[in-house]
Structure 1
Amino acid sequence: QRLGLGRTPVREAVLRLSAEYLIEVMPRRGLRIPPIDVRQQLRLVETRRVLETLVASQAAERATRAERAAFQSLAKAFRNEGCKSYRRFLRIDHQFNIAVAQACDNEFAVGALQSLHGLSRRFWHYYSGHEEDLTEVADMHACIADAIAAGDTREVAKGVKRHMDYIHAFTRAMLKD
């Protein structure tokens, strides 16, 4: 009430966060932020690997000339700006995700993938040292953006595999801690 929000938007936000496994609804007791589960994250990476490959490959096949030019600009931005600060990387990554979603023209695959990004980002924020990982991660994204711009689905698949292998190895390393 103090924020001026009605019950409906709050309830819808809670339902969405619950559907994305970011909160747990405990009837008559409240809400809870679930603990980070490394094994769950490994299953998430398996799913992301398939969806990221599908969505990025479709973007490479379906992108317009203007979209291809935008991917070239994003690749440059990842290389020039994305490795300088985590905040800049996140801004460029957000633009990249929007561009891929638009170019792939498959709202079902995009919707499934977007529902996984919140958990992935949460895991990354919790475990990553952020800055030291940026150069490599920004380069991976730049390579994928370049491949989409070129319409090269084979290079897209290789780039996504490299990125998902990195995330998988990073996640497995957290099991040992």
Structure 2
Amino acid sequence: MNTLAESVTERAAPDAEELAGRSYAEYATAMLRDRLIVLNIPPGAPINDEQIGRELGIGRTPVREALKRLEAEHLVAVYPRRGTFAAPVDITDLASITEMRALLEPLAASRAARFASTPKRESMRDLAARLTALDTRAVSPIALMRHDLEVHRSIYAANGNSHLEEDLIKYDNLATRIWCLVLDRLPDVAAHVSEHVELLNAIVDGNAERAADLALTHVTGFEGLIRSVI
């Protein structure tokens, strides 16, 4: 199994477009978070800050800051005298994660339907159109998971409560890691992702009650789908 530490290619520092207004630490956090969520860095794999810095074209200090942030998000585990590793994925956490998401996801969807700005509604409308046009047969399961993440992030960002957004991102990241762990056993990921079209449209239309109901159905359906294969 290849780990990040075994496949490092040194590169130049990220340019302004890649940084998109972020600090090096924020950039490193985003890059590593994505890989950890979809298990491109496998659970338990060692993570070396110097090697990551060379790969991303940045110094060790922002990488270390990124790893501290990811440790707080339960995506990285630090063991004294052993080092830093990708956090394990514990499927037994599914019930606890779902309990929190079942409370918070409907709230975020309802708030987004009520409070989303016009630009955010247009962005969600465009996202729903892209998902409708997507040929799911031609897209890899991991790519579909990235679409799933994009939908959730857009809803969280539109809800108007930054604390709620932060908490939901954390729980959704952990849920996605569990999903990716059993992805090859799931019967129909595409159908789950396509559910988002109706949810996005409800938010765009300002239908808060329907958006909340659809969000809850989506979360409980996710847990049921995972439990069907474990």
More helix by share: 1
Aligned match for 1:74, one of 110, 122, 127: 127
Tell me the CA shift for residue 97 of structure 1: 3.4
Residue identity (%): 29
- For structure 2, the residue ranges without an aligned partner over 5 or more in a row are 1-49
Aligned match for 1:13, one of 61, 66, 81: 66
Please say which of residues 76-85 and 113-122 is displaced more in the overlay: 76-85
Letter in 1 for 2:77: E
Aligned match for 1:32, one of 85, 95, 106: 85
- For structure 1, the residue ranges without an aligned partner over 5 or more in a row are none
Tell me the CA shift for residue 98 of structure 1: 4.0
Q: Which residue of 1 aligns with 2:192?
A: 137
Normalising by structure 2, report the TM-score.
0.66
Please say which of residues 66-75 and 87-96 is displaced more in the overlay: 87-96
Q: Which residue of 2 aligns with 1:61?
A: 114
Q: How many residues are aligned here?
A: 175
Q: Distance in 2 between matches of 1:142 and 1:99?
A: 13
Tell me the CA shift for residue 134 of structure 1: 3.2
Q: Is 1:43 paired with 2:100?
A: no
Normalising by structure 1, report the TM-score.
0.84
Q: Distance in 2 between matches of 1:122 and 1:173?
A: 17
1:71-94 CA deviation, whole Å, 9 max, x = no partner? 222222222217341355345444
1:85-122 CA deviation, whole Å, 9 max, x = no partner? 13553454444334323321111000111112322221
In the alignment, is the contact (CA less than 8 A) between 2:105 and 2:216 conserved in 1?
A: no
In the alignment, is the contact (CA less than 8 A) between 2:144 and 2:189 conserved in 1?
A: yes
Q: Distance in 2 between matches of 1:98 and 1:123?
A: 18
Q: Secondary structure at the match of 2:78?
A: strand
- Aligned alpha-carbon RMSD (Å): 2.4
